[in-house]
Amino acid sequence: MSIQDLEKAFELIYHNGGDFEGEKDNTLITKAERALGVVFPPTYKKFLRTLGCGDIEGLEFYGLIKADFENSSIPDAIWLTLNERKSGLPIHLILIYSIEGGVYYALDTSEITENGEYPVVTYELNGNTQKIADDYGSFLLKELQTVLS
């Protein structure tokens, strides 16, 4: 259901607005994957290709802004992940969202489904993680439904 959930999430965004960076090309996405040493799952890759990153109704979804991952800021997921790795973030996590109290949401690349998806987990600065969604598409839809339904 991951791609279907992602498509439903896109529909919610298109009908409700928001401030998103916009489409990103495959060259930039490949550069981001190389910088992190991962391959993005299909749903997150489609989000990056379609919207890049952005916010809606106070929810900020991290993704891609530009190719300079060293000199960027939030909501650049690549910049944030690389910076947090310097402070001990496990290499298998890609930070995609945060909530108050220093809790991040991350794609956990240490687990992969047969469809090439990674689960979304919460990551606390003490190292604790907890799975909250099977993939990025279901995560995005669930988060949007909390404020748009």
What is the pLDDT at residue 43? 97
Q: What is the CA radius of gyration of the chain?
A: 14
Please check the confidence at residue 101 and state whether its pLDDT lies above 90: no
Q: Could you tell me which CATH number the domain at 2-148 has? A: 3.40.1580.10
Section 83-92 average pLDDT: 95
What percent of the chain stands above pLDDT 70?
99
pLDDT at 125: 84
Report the percent of the chain where pLDDT is more than 90.
Answer: 90
The pLDDT tens digits of the residues spanning 13-47 come to 999 989 999 999 999 999 999 999 999 999 999 99
pTM: 0.95
**For residues 119 and 31, is the Cβ–Cβ distance under 8 A?**
no
Band the pLDDT of 126: cuts 50, 70, 90: confident
What pLDDT shows up at residue 100?
78
Q: What would the mean pLDDT of 2-20 be, rounded to a whole number?
A: 94
CB-based burial, 23-54: b 16+ in 10 Å, e otherwise? ebeeebbeebbeebebebbbbbbbbbbebbbb
Whether the pLDDT of residue 1 is over 70: the answer is no
Residue 149: pLDDT above 80?
A: no
